[in-house]
Amino acid sequence: MHGLSYSVPGQGTQWLEASVRAVDPACDDVVAIELEYPVPLQAHEAGSHIKVQVIADGRQATRSYSVVEHRGRQRLLIAVRRLDNGQGGSKFMHALRVGDRLRASLPGNHFVLLPGAPSYMLIAGGIGVTPIVGMARALRALRARFKFFYLGRKPEAMPFLPRLLAEFGEDLVVHIDAQAGPFDLQPHLATQPGAAEAYVCGPVPMLEALQASWAAAGRPRELLRFETFGAASDRPSEAFRVSVNRRNIEFLVPPERNLLEMLEERGCEPLYFCQRGECGLCAVDVVSLEGDLDHRDVFLSADQRAQGRQLCACVSRATGSITIDMP
């Protein structure tokens, strides 16, 4: 997927103490946060992200945020949507004030914009606009052919919208669900050459709909590149009981925690990387299940989900009781 190269998580991250230089509203529930690093930064690479250490539900945790832009040699801008039903990381970020300090990594990139395509479609959903803005600027600098689609439920929930309208003009297509209904990719695909590439960042349901349209048009799967920003499900998170086969370990995953965190706490040393359900490194084998699986990843195929033999521990959940196997 994506042609990415993943490594074992949490290992090798260089943490630096960054300071908050500005906090500004980007829309109703999103803040733009400018961070200053103690060292010069490499030139901004479209699609890059940083990791930050936050306190979520009383525990230290790591969150990843796309870099919107660099502002000078040592400063960059990220944006964070507040999730009142999330695990607490966004609340921590929204509580930051100018002068606060936090530990942050240098930018990394696993959503790389590849040059050379005859045309590009950049598609962002809500806060998913954060990595896409840099791609649009990079393509414009290269004089490449592109169209920037920005989807949202309502204008007030779309970060940086007025600024992007002014910056990109007719290259930007704004689609607001409340006014125009669900976005239909098919008419736009018909105007694109067969080797056009699409870069998508948004919630899982949006991505799945776009994947279906892309496949229905007979487009090569590898030309649709994507990044998601977290788990999505129509079902509420419930507590579920886990037994780890061969380790004689049992525990309860409460609604506000995920299976990956609990496996780490119990010393199971799970492998993981993206923590967004994209890379599949954290997938565990399901031995038995008394309940249902709630797949919230984009790694497993529809057939794999239907078979119910694996579960991505970082974002997906279960109901009832589940027995998993780990080496």
The two three-digit tokens of residue 148, written as one number? 């920037």
- Indicate whether 9 pLDDT > 60: no
- 278 pLDDT band, cuts 50/70/90, is confident
What's the mean pLDDT when you consider all of the chain?
89
Q: What percent of the chain lies above the pLDDT cut of 90? A: 67
The answer to whether 79 and 68 have CB atoms below 8 angstroms apart is yes
Torsional class of 24: left (φ above 0), alpha (ψ -120 to 50), beta (otherwise): beta
Rounded to an integer, what distance in angstroms lies between the CA atom of residue 230 and that of residue 35?
23
157-167 confidence digits (pLDDT tens): 999 999 999 99
**Nearest by Cα to 325 from 289, 287, 270:** 287
Rounded to an integer, what distance in angstroms lies between the CA atom of residue 131 and that of residue 209?
20
Rounded to an integer, what distance in angstroms lies between the CA atom of residue 27 and that of residue 25?
6
Rounded to an integer, what distance in angstroms lies between the CA atom of residue 233 and that of residue 220?
27
Mean pLDDT for 187-198 is: 94
**Sign, Cα dihedral of 112, 113, 114, 115:** negative
- Indicate whether 1 pLDDT > 70: no
197-211 confidence digits (pLDDT tens): 999 998 888 888 898
Mean pLDDT for 96-111 is: 94
Distances (CA, A) of 87 to 54, 190, 230, 297: 11, 41, 11, 17
**Nearest by Cα to 120 from 150, 140, 103:** 140
Torsional class of 181: left (φ above 0), alpha (ψ -120 to 50), beta (otherwise): left
Q: What is the C-alpha end-to-end distance of the chain, expressed in Å?
A: 24
48-101 confidence digits (pLDDT tens): 999 999 987 777 888 889 999 999 999 999 999 998 766 678 899 999 999 999
Instruction: Give ∠ CA 36-58-64 in degrees, rounded to 5.
Output: 40
- Indicate whether 136 pLDDT > 50: yes
- 234 pLDDT band, cuts 50/70/90, is low
Top pLDDT among 299 and 44 is at: 44
Alpha-helical regions (H) of the chain: 89-94, 129-141, 161-168, 177-180, 186-189, 204-216, 259-265, 302-307
**Nearest by Cα to 78 from 90, 68, 89:** 68
- 11 pLDDT band, cuts 50/70/90, is very low
pLDDT for 5 = 33
The answer to whether 316 and 296 have CB atoms below 8 angstroms apart is yes
The answer to whether 240 and 253 have CB atoms below 8 angstroms apart is yes
Mean pLDDT for 110-131 is: 95
Lowest mean pLDDT among 110-119, 205-214, 248-257, 268-277: 268-277
pTM score above 0.75? yes
- 7 pLDDT band, cuts 50/70/90, is very low
- Indicate whether 127 pLDDT > 70: yes
> Which residues, 6 or more positions from 45, have their beta carbon under 8 angstroms from its beta carbon?
107, 109, 112, 134
- 226 pLDDT band, cuts 50/70/90, is confident
Cβ-based neighbour number of residue 196 at 10 Å: 20
SS3 24: strand
